[in-house]
Amino acid sequence: MLQTPGNTGIKQSPTADGTYPVYERLRYQVMKGRNPDGSKYSDPVYWVSYFNGGDAVHYYARGSYGFPQSLGCIEVPYGAAKTSYQYLTFGSLVTVH
C-alpha cells in the first residue's frame, strides 16, 4: 500500500518490537516530554496514530528519514504520514520489527 523511509527510536529510547493496535489518532498536536539527557522537548507533529504507549506513526520535520532519530516513534515524511493516517484507523495493527 505504502512504502516510505522512516525514523525509529534511538538506542536510549528504542521503538519496541511487536504488534500493537492504533488506539488514538490526532491530525496535529505538540508532543512534549523529556529527552534522554533530561532536557525538555515540545515538538509539533502531524497525522499522529498512537500504537504503543507514547509511540506513534507521525510526521516530524527532519532533514532525512530512514535512521534511528526518534524517541520511540516512527517518523515519516509529510506525504507518507498523511496517506498512512487514512489507513491507520482505530484498531489497525502496527507491526515493528
Q: Is residue 28 part of a domain?
A: yes
Domain count, the chain: 1
Enclosing domain of residue 91: 8-96
pLDDT at 57: 98
- Mean pLDDT per 10-residue section of the chain, whose length is 97 residues: 94 97 98 97 98 97 97 98 97 96
Domain of 89, CATH number, reads 2.40.440.10
Q: Is residue 2 part of a domain?
A: no
Contacts of residue 71, defined as CB under 8 A and 6 or more positions apart, other chains included, come to 9, 10, 13, 33, 35, 36
pLDDT at 41: 97
Q: Is residue 1 part of a domain?
A: no
pLDDT at 23: 98
pLDDT at 1: 75
